[in-house]
Amino acid sequence: MDRFRHHRDRLWCEEVPLDVLARRVGTPAYVYSAGTIRDHVRRLRAAFADLDPLVCYAVKANGNLAVLRVLLEEGCGLDIVSGGELARARRLGAPGARIVFSGVGKTRAEMEAGLAAGVRLFNVESEPELDLLEQVATARGQVAPVGIRLNPDVDPRTHRHITTGRRENKFGVDLAAGERLARRAARSPALRLQALQCHIGSQVTSVEPYAEALGRVAALAARLRPEAPDLEWLDMGGGFGVWYRDQAAPGFEAYAAAVRPIVKASGLRLLMEPGRVLVGNAGVLLARVLYEKRGGGKRFVIVDAGMNDLLRPSLYDAYHRVWPATGPPPPPLGEEGAGERADVVGPVCESGDFLARDRALPPVAPGAVLAVFGVGAYGFAMASTYNDRPRPCEVLVDGARYAVVRERETHADLMRLERPDAPFQAVEDRADPEGVA
């Protein structure tokens, strides 16, 4: 469900026509619907209402400050994975009590910043990480709140690149090691064991893997409880799926029903870290058609957005709906539209540079605007400047109004940190290990 509609021969984001917006702000442009984001948070909360979860939005999905502000105003907390994401949270004044610090490779500096910000939880993923957190907390005279990220070895049946809860993935620790780490954290005066966490993957479109994983985590929590009086949270991670090609992802109610009995029986509170499901369907990428050409029996529509702007199709073979911003209505989700098949490709010098392949698409003239759907999550967030292409602007629509919430990068921005005339410096002591690191 989202607030993108076809109406009077045009696509609209809320009450703003996308072709007009493209003319105003230029292309390529990411456009987000504030109303859709709010709807998603409210529907998630309603489905889980009786469990009163702490919903920490996964900033990595879309860290734009204006988007984060909408989520914070809806009462969400934030799930962060870097000092950079912490800086964003701080910039908006997000309270530490609503921040969860995740990530498999936190540095000492990131731990220090997290402790200084008073984050609610560090989700720890290995024994050496727990050692370092203990050291850093001791040095600061603080007690670090700890969650242990468990790898429950459950198959979430999603794309192999975004599966995280299998034994062979780099994330978390297995249940036996997790139990050991948890007991250690519970005993340490510098650590407070507050949570057990798992995150099984992303774009998970069945609910059973959640029940299976959380069941294993809850069983461990029950064993630990006598020694861990501060254990308060079951953190189920994120990963809820959205509708890309069809309506394959279940609704919030189905996810809630799957974990409800487990959470209730555990006596713990539920924490979750959804990213994609809150913002994924709240964004489109607008691109303009540059040329159309035919070759090898194929129709290519060449547009001004490429894999550097939207990486998911090239990286994961991800499917995003593409449709012209003016003209006939798009086909219903899951159905094929009318028109000759085409590959929609970008200007980047890679044959892997495409936004969509083999799609029925109505005729489009040069200058026509295409909307690429479902890119509110992991769209701009994964954009790069490859081929020296400035990253697109980001626009937030709210009702009948819009704001450019991140300006389009300029060529000067791309070169801003380069110092072609930087003086060469001698290295004093080549054996100095600090210098090498």
Which residues of the shown chain bind ligand LLP in the complex (CB under 6 A)?
58, 61, 79, 102, 162, 164, 199, 202-203, 237-240, 273-277, 312, 377-378
Residue (16 or 200) nearer to ligand LLP, CB: 200
* Secondary element (H or E) of residue 150: none
Catalytic option among 13, 76, 349, 393: 349
Contact call for residues 216 and 152 (beta carbons, < 8 A): yes
Q: Least distance (Å) from ligand LLP to the CB of residue 323? A: 21
Residue (217 or 364) nearer to ligand LLP, CB: 217
User: Which SS3 state, helix, strand or coil, does residue 264 take?
Assistant: helix
Residue 77 β-bridge partners = 56
Q: Least distance (Å) from ligand LLP to the CB of residue 82? A: 12
Residues near 183 by Cβ (< 8 Å), separated by ≥ 6? 224, 227, 228
Q: Least distance (Å) from ligand LLP to the CB of residue 80? A: 10
Determine whether 349 is an active site residue: yes
Task: Write out the two tokens for 78.
Answer: 């934030």
> Cis peptide leading into 250, omega within 30 of 0?
no
- Using CA atoms, how far apart are residues 142 and 416, in angstroms rounded to an integer? 39
Q: Least distance (Å) from ligand LLP to the CB of residue 40? A: 11
Q: Look-up: residue for tokens 């009318």?
A: 338
Q: Least distance (Å) from ligand LLP to the CB of residue 280? A: 8
Contact call for residues 153 and 123 (beta carbons, < 8 A): no
C-alpha 135: how far from chain center: 30
How long a stretch of residues is the chain?
437
- Using CA atoms, how far apart are residues 357 and 162, in angstroms rounded to an integer? 21
Closest by alpha carbon to 163, among 204, 198, 197, 125? Answer: 204
Catalytic residues: 349
